[in-house]
């Protein structure tokens, strides 16, 4: 006992002396460098070696009595925010306030820390508002954690593993848990690895040896024919015998019940043609011995031998082409947006079918004509009807003047054309329109050698406009892009079928002769060209020379409508058999592409002024929207892509959508139907 006490006291003196040495060395280092003082790790390790040499065993206690309870009892709250304006930081265990320590200036605290040699050991506890000085043992623990070792030197992290489980003579496994799911599904990490290798092989980063390719020459398929072998090619055209179809479930001697036909089905087979009749009728037998011989075996063997005997000497190889590869590769519809898809607004008010519509050049107003004897002007964004003209006759066609300074509407009645002021514009425009639509004396245009006048200009007192009387019924009207000239079509076989009118001079003339029976006529959007469509042909005229320069052959039964591309070099023609023809004037006089889209007559085709879109309306109550890109490169053909089929109108007396027009600035489409409704389709 005395010896143990002596050794214990000597070890305590050694620890105290070593701690004094560490403290002295740390004090000297503080005096030498005022910035930072650190305890050398060598001294700590030496002290650890000494303590280990003395076989000191420090036992740690798990008792909560060794821990010092926090002085502040307010809990885990944000002290800085909640007690920012208070004089205390919380309450102690007896409920008394813990006063805040006086805050020091940063400069004063820096000077004080520079003079204090133990300042590097101090840390600030914000929760209790006090400074704590670390002990030597705590500094040793911190240094060991920083260096990646265990906090306590007496802990051995590499102790030998002790297996506490006894495996011998045990009747049950260690774990009876079911197998995890990951053992039954493919590994996603292996899949990513394989995909990465495949990507590198395709990119050429990994080169695969060609040894297996040399071995493939020595391998042949056992079940394929030898038609392509070298030996057979030397001896001429070897044709293998046709292989019969392999038997299925219905050829079994005891097939399932669902394969056995009923008596009614067998009787129906007798009424079929021989080529449509099934070759084999399934039957059920009790055992394999009851199956009779095949009654058509000899005949089929004879037919097979006959096929080989009558086989042609030359073999024709059929080209196997995938039908999907013949389809043109079109871009995705998502890449061609915007285009009209859904009905956004309906304009209701007409009591009869709406024959025609026209959009104001500004895109704010919409004009419509109906069989109820009225012409209306609508506000596009709200659907409000602003003005109504009681014309008293069926409005066959209506057209807005393309010039923004001339808000004039041209309404085609049976024999007359009304030029009406829409009422839009300021006072100056109203004054100019009244002067423009005023006629002092009625004037008529007469042809030489003919007593009948082509058109007569008369002042219309009721609507304060101009009435133009024609000698026959007028079918269509179209304005020139400058807004002063317009043309009317009278479907007759004489020379007065196409009339050109000048609004400023109140003058009409018939420059074209011997046209046949025209259907419609339009001006070129930028050049001095004029297009006249008869029942089967489209004639192109030069207005400056008044001569025909081109004749387009459509190949359809009867033309119903035409429209010119804003570029002026492409035309679409709609027919009464549901076909559309696309013409490229620089390519040929025949259609570049013919589209069979509608099941009934096409009533109207139209191009958009700014967007690469065109549309067609038909009596089948549908309107088709197409994308059309015309390239400046002459070697590249136009791109035509069908986009959308717009439905919504109801048929009335066999008629569907009677007219369609695009908005001049937005990708919107207006459709007029026989159900007296005008619809606006937006993107």
Q: How far apart are CA 676 and CA 355, in angstroms?
A: 9
Better-scored residue on pLDDT, 169 or 463:
463
Q: Once rounded to an integer, what is the mean pLDDT over residues 585-591?
A: 89
Better-scored residue on pLDDT, 514 or 255:
255
State pLDDT tens for residues 354-404: 999 999 998 899 999 999 999 999 999 988 999 999 888 899 999 999 998
Q: What is the pLDDT of residue 605?
A: 95
Better-scored residue on pLDDT, 138 or 240:
138
Q: Which of 184-198, 324-338, 548-562 has the lowest mean pLDDT?
A: 324-338
Q: What is the pLDDT of residue 531?
A: 93
What does pTM read for this prediction?
A: 0.54
Say if CB 350 and CB 368 are below 8 A apart: yes
| DSSP annotation of 121 | G
Residue 446 has pLDDT above 50, yes or no: no
Better-scored residue on pLDDT, 417 or 39:
417
> Of 391, 398, 416, nearest to 490 (Cα)?
416
Q: How far apart are CA 284 and CA 291, in angstroms?
A: 9
Residue 473 has pLDDT above 50, yes or no: yes
Exposed e or buried b per residue across 17-50, where buried means at least 16 C-beta atoms within 10 angstroms of its C-beta: ebeeebeeebeebbeeeeeebebeeeebeebeee
Q: How far apart are CA 427 and CA 423, in angstroms?
A: 10
Q: What is the pLDDT of residue 375?
A: 92
> Of 582, 565, 130, nearest to 573 (Cα)?
582
Q: Once rounded to an integer, what is the mean pLDDT over residues 420-442?
A: 82
Better-scored residue on pLDDT, 162 or 56:
162
List, as one string, the DSSP characters of 54-82: TT--PPP---GGGSPPPS--S-S--HHHH
State pLDDT tens for residues 279-330: 888 999 989 899 998 888 899 899 888 887 777 656 667 777 888 888 778 8
Please name the residue that has the structure tokens 């066999």. Answer: 654
Say if CB 335 and CB 638 are below 8 A apart: no
How long a stretch of residues is the chain? 683
Say if CB 443 and CB 457 are below 8 A apart: yes
Q: What are the CB-based long-range contacts (under 8 Å, 24+) for 433-437?
A: 433/406, 433/407, 433/408, 434/464, 436/406, 436/408, 436/503, 436/504, 437/408, 437/464, 437/465, 437/466
Say if CB 655 and CB 619 are below 8 A apart: yes
Q: How far apart are CA 602 and CA 243, in angstroms?
A: 52
Q: What is the pLDDT of residue 671?
A: 94
Q: What is the mean pLDDT of the chain?
A: 80
Q: What is the pLDDT of residue 243?
A: 77
Residue 605 pairs in a beta bridge with: 616
Instruction: Classify residue 386 as left (phi > 0), alpha (psi -120 to 50) or beta.
Output: alpha
State pLDDT tens for residues 254-287: 999 899 999 999 999 888 888 888 888 899 998 9
Tokens of 514: 């011997």
Residue 156 has pLDDT above 70, yes or no: yes
Helix (H, G, I), strand (E, B) or coil at 533: strand
Tokens of 491: 């479907």
Q: Once rounded to an integer, what is the mean pLDDT over residues 457-478?
A: 86
Q: Once rounded to an integer, what is the mean pLDDT over residues 65-88?
A: 74
Q: Once rounded to an integer, what is the mean pLDDT over residues 43-60?
A: 42
Name the percent of the chain lying above pLDDT 70: 81
pLDDT-based confidence at residue 233 (cuts at 50, 70, 90) = low
Q: Once rounded to an integer, what is the mean pLDDT over residues 112-135?
A: 85
Q: What is the pLDDT of residue 357?
A: 94
Better-scored residue on pLDDT, 274 or 575:
575
Q: How far apart are CA 370 and CA 650, in angstroms?
A: 16
Q: How far apart are CA 161 and CA 485, in angstroms?
A: 105
Q: How far apart are CA 336 and CA 138, in angstroms?
A: 71
Please name the residue that has the structure tokens 């133990």. Answer: 118
State pLDDT tens for residues 607-661: 999 999 999 999 999 999 999 999 888 788 889 999 999 998 998 988 999 999 9
Please name the residue that has the structure tokens 């102690």. Answer: 92
Q: What is the pLDDT of residue 3?
A: 39
């Amino acid at each position: 006992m005395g010896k143990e006490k002596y050794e214990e006291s000597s070890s305590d003196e050694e620890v105290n002396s070593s701690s004094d040495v560490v403290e002295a060395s740390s004090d000297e280092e503080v005096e030498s460098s005022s910035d930072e003082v650190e305890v050398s790790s060598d001294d700590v390790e030496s002290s650890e070696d000494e303590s280990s040499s003395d076989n000191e065993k420090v036992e740690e206690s798990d008792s909560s009595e060794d821990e010092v309870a926090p002085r502040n009892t307010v809990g885990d709250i944000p002290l800085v925010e909640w007690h920012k304006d208070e004089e205390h930081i919380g309450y102690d265990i007896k409920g008394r306030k813990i006063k805040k320590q006086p805050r020091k200036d940063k400069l004063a605290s820096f000077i004080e820390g520079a003079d204090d040699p133990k300042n590097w050991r101090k840390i600030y506890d914000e929760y209790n508002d006090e400074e704590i000085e670390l002990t030597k043992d705590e500094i040793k623990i911190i240094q060991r954690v920083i260096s990646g070792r265990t906090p306590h030197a007496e802990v051995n992290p590499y102790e030998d593993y002790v297996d506490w489980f006894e495996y011998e003579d045990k009747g049950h496994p260690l774990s009876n848990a079911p197998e995890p799911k990951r053992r039954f599904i493919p590994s996603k990490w292996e899949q990513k690895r394989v995909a990465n290798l495949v990507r590198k092989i395709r990119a050429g980063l990994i080169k695969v040896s060609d040894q297996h390719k040399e071995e493939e020459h020595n391998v042949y398929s056992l079940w394929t024919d030898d038609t392509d072998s070298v030996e057979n090619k030397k001896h001429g055209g070897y044709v293998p015998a046709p292989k019969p179809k392999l038997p299925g479930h219905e050829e079994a001697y005891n097939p399932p019940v669902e394969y056995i036909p009923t008596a009614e089905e067998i009787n129906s087979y007798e009424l079929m043609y021989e080529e449509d009749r099934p070759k084999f009728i399934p039957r059920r037998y009790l055992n394999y011995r009851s199956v009779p011989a095949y009654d058509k075996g000899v005949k089929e063997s004879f037919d097979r031998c006959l096929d080989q005997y009558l086989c042609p000497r030359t073999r024709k190889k059929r080209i196997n082409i995938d039908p999907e590869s013949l389809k043109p590769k079109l871009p995705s519809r998502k890449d061609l947006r915007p285009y009209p898809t859904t009905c956004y607004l309906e304009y209701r008010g007409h009591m009869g079918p709406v024959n025609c519509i026209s959009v104001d050049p500004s895109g704010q107003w919409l004009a419509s004509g109906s069989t109820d004897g009225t012409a209306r002007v609508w506000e596009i964004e709200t659907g409000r009807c602003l003005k109504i003209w009681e014309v008293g006759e069926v409005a066959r066609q209506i057209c807005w003047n393309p010039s923004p300074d001339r808000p004039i509407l041209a309404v085609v009645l049976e024999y007359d054309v009304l030029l009406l002021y829409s009422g839009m514009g300021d006072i100056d425009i109203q004054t100019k329109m009244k002067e423009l639509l005023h006629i002092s004396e009625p004037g008529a245009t007469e042809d030489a050698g003919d007593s009948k006048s082509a058109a007569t200009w008369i002042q219309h007192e009721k609507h304060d406009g101009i009435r133009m009387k024609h000698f026959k019924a007028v079918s269509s009207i179209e304005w020139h892009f400058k807004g002063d000239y317009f043309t009317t079509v009278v479907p007759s076989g004489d020379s007065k079928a196409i009339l050109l009118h000048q609004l400023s001079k109140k003058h009409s003339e018939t420059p074209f002769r011997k046209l046949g029976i025209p259907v419609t006529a339009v001006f070129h959007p930028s050049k001095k060209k004029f297009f006249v469509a008869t029942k089967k042909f489209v004639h192109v005229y030069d207005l400056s020379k008044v001569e025909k320069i081109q004749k387009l052959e459509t190949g359809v039964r009867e033309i119903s409508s035409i429209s010119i591309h804003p570029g002026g070099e492409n035309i679409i023609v709609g027919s009464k058999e549901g076909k559309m023809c696309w013409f490229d004037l620089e390519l040929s006089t025949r259609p570049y592409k013919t589209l069979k889209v509608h099941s009934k007559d096409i009533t109207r085709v139209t191009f958009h002024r700014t967007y690469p879109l065109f549309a067609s309306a038909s009596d089948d109550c549908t309107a088709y929207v197409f994308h059309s890109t015309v390239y400046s490169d002459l070697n590249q053909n136009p791109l035509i892509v069908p986009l959308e089929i717009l439905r919504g109108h109801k048929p009335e007396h066999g008629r569907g959508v009677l007219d369609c027009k695009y908005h001049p600035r937005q990708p919107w489409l207006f459709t007029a139907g026989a159900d007296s409704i005008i619809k606006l389709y937006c993107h």
